[in-house]
Structure 1
Amino acid sequence: MIRRAAASLAVLLAVSPALAGPSLRAAALVSSDRVTVGDLIEGADPALADVALFRAPDLGLTGAVPAQDVAEAARRAGVVDLDLGASANVSVTRLSRAFTADDIERAVAERAAAEFGAQAEAMRVTLDEAATLHLDPSAAPQPVIARFAADPRSGRFEASFAAGRDGAVRRVTGSAIETVEVAVAARSLARGDVLREADVVLERRPRVQSGEGVDLAAAKGMALRRPMREGQALRAADLIRPQHVERGGFVTLVYGLGGMSLSLKAKALQSGAQGDLVAVQNIQSKRTVTGVVTGPSEVTVSAAPTAVARR
């Protein structure tokens, strides 16, 4: 009976984690910039749990540490008889809160908009390096910019994000440009073309390049002073009201009086849009009169022609 009890106690001592010696873990997840005894060694003296063994990898990265190096560091920390197990290396991963390039661009857009007095949705942010940003696991759900400097003319910026509890920062650089919506030609257009809905689209362009751009509503129904390439921004100086009468062209001259009218052929001496006053010359009499453009190639005057006696 005594032998059987002794054998049972020996087996219990061999398998009980509480009674077994310290052993090395094959992998560890750490949340600080130091790897401690408690992170890597199981069964060590609890008083040694917070003793640092070596630096942790950068945020979000995994590193491999030779087991022998860990054993040496543990020995210096006061851990003896460490069981290394079968692993030649120990894998250490530093936890992080990861933010994508889109997350960073949104944060920069909001900060730049506040700096420039613009709307965040109007900012176009381009990062010099579009990489994932790893911050401390305790960081806010959205990246927070600790320091920000930008040139409103060039748009160049540098943003610093608090990376860890040790005061480390991650710097991000790029450009943040304020944009505005402008009307651009959806296809190549000729001089004199009257803009239809399908001819014009809205695009965001840098404000410094937009000049005196026009909006979509203002562009529709207007005519072009000059040819336009596809994608070219429309400016106020490029647009005129559609010209129903061209200088030097032939028009129908309508004399209206009461309920009667008289139509003659005339030559336009001026160009004009609907409602404009233009001068025209009667082809037969060579008399010049002024009338209102009332339609394509049509000019109307409100009084009948007066006969002139010849001498």
Structure 2
Amino acid sequence: MAKVGNIRLWRAGMTVAGLALFAAPAHAGPTLKEEAIVSGDTVTVGDLFDNAEGLEGIALFRAPDPGQTGPLPAAAALAAARRAGVAGPEAGEVRQVFVTRLSREITNSDITGSITARAATEYGVDVDAVEVKLDGAAGPVHVPAAEKGSLEVTRFVTDRQTGRFEASLAVAGAPRRGAEPIRVTGAAVETVEVATLSRSLERGDVVSAADIRADRRPKSQASDAMAPDQVVGLAAKRSIREGQPLRTTDLGRPQQVERNAFVTLIYGASGVSLSLRAKALASGVQGDVIAVQNVQSKRVVNGVVTGPSEVTVTAPTTTVARR
């Protein structure tokens, strides 16, 4: 019986030992991470180590510049943690930590948009009337992620005649602590809307709405250019290439009567209208006064061009004086 009891005791001991093997391990010490993501100017204990036990907020290193990633040797991280009072930090198999600093990206488009708005204010025109071209690519520029304000132009010096400018920009309300502003140069020119051709025209072609498109050109180069709402219904005085801006010298009123062509001569007097066949002795556009010859009588009279191949002659009204 004693032997059986000893066996039972041994089995009981084995059970206790087995339970001990599966018991929760002791609390792990501070363990180095493989990578760290930070948003501020410093890298803290909590950024680099798990299980820092209340020491997470202690600063150890200066953070990389916004938007940058830098390697940190594990040995340097462990030494800095010990100096800060962290007990028993371990690196395990980590040899270096890659530290990345979050940022806000300022793009080339953001910079151009801010410059455009400032130039429009300086020139006293709408934003759509300003075209900005930077000298090279100014962005992207990375600023601290906490800087959420609008991008503002803090300095703007421009030559209104050439449009050349120098400008400095910064995020509104951001405590940059001596950080360099974004400096750019380029050209900001005022533009106007002009009519350009969507197809080539031959001499005498009448411009329709489908023939034109609205483009913007520098105001200094468009002194005699015509707006889209000025050209429909006018005729080309010469051949004009597709894509060419239309100028006042390119177009005129469409010619409705050709010299030596036959026209309808409308003769009106005392409420009576008579249509005759006549020959135009001069070319004319709507509203022009030209000479025409009655084909039958050979009589020459002056009339007003009132339509295509149409000339109207109105007899003067006779007034009888009262006694």
Secondary structure at 2:128 match in 1: helix
- 2:96 is aligned with 1:89: yes
Please tell me the residue identity of whatever aligns with 2:204: G
Q: Which residue of 1 aligns with 2:265?
A: 254
CA spacing shift, 1:252–1:45, aligned 2, 3 Å: closer
CA spacing shift, 1:133–1:286, aligned 2, 3 Å: farther
The one of 198, 205, 215 aligned to 1:203? 215
CA-CA distance at 1:262 after TM superposition: 6.1
CA-CA distance at 1:244 after TM superposition: 1.1
CA-CA distance at 1:232 after TM superposition: 1.0
Q: Which residue of 2 aligns with 1:62?
A: 69
CA spacing shift, 1:88–1:151, aligned 2, 3 Å: farther
> Percent of pairs identical after alignment?
42
CA-CA distance at 1:303 after TM superposition: 4.5
CA-CA distance at 1:255 after TM superposition: 6.1
Q: Which residue of 1 aligns with 2:290?
A: 278
TM-score by length of 1: 0.77
CA spacing shift, 1:176–1:69, aligned 2, 3 Å: farther
Q: Which residue of 2 aligns with 1:24?
A: 32
Give unmatched runs, 5+ long, in structure 1. Answer: 305-311
Secondary structure at 2:151 match in 1: coil
Secondary structure at 2:119 match in 1: helix
Look at both structures and tell me which one has the larger radius of gyration over its CA atoms.
2
CA spacing shift, 1:157–1:290, aligned 2, 3 Å: farther
CA spacing shift, 1:230–1:282, aligned 2, 3 Å: same
Please tell me the residue identity of whatever aligns with 1:299: V
Contact 1:255/1:303 (<8 A) preserved: no
The one of 201, 204, 220 aligned to 2:232? 220
- 2:189 is aligned with 1:158: no
Cα deviation 1:101-150 (Å, max 9, x = unaligned): 43333323222211221212333334421643322222225433333344
Question: Hey, what's the Cα distance between the residues in 1 that align with 2:125 and 2:273?
Answer: 60
- 2:142 is aligned with 1:134: yes
Q: Which residue of 2 aligns with 1:308?
A: none
Please tell me the residue identity of whatever aligns with 2:43: V
Secondary structure at 2:305 match in 1: strand
- 2:52 is aligned with 1:40: no
Contact 2:280/2:290 (<8 A) preserved: no
CA-CA distance at 1:254 after TM superposition: 2.3
State the number of aligned residues.
Answer: 290
Aligned pairs for 1:76-115 within 5 A: 81-115=88-122
Question: Hey, what's the Cα distance between the residues in 1 that align with 2:97 and 2:76?
Answer: 10
Question: Hey, what's the Cα distance between the residues in 2 that align with 1:69 and 1:150?
Answer: 51
Contact 2:200/2:240 (<8 A) preserved: yes
- 2:276 is aligned with 1:263: yes
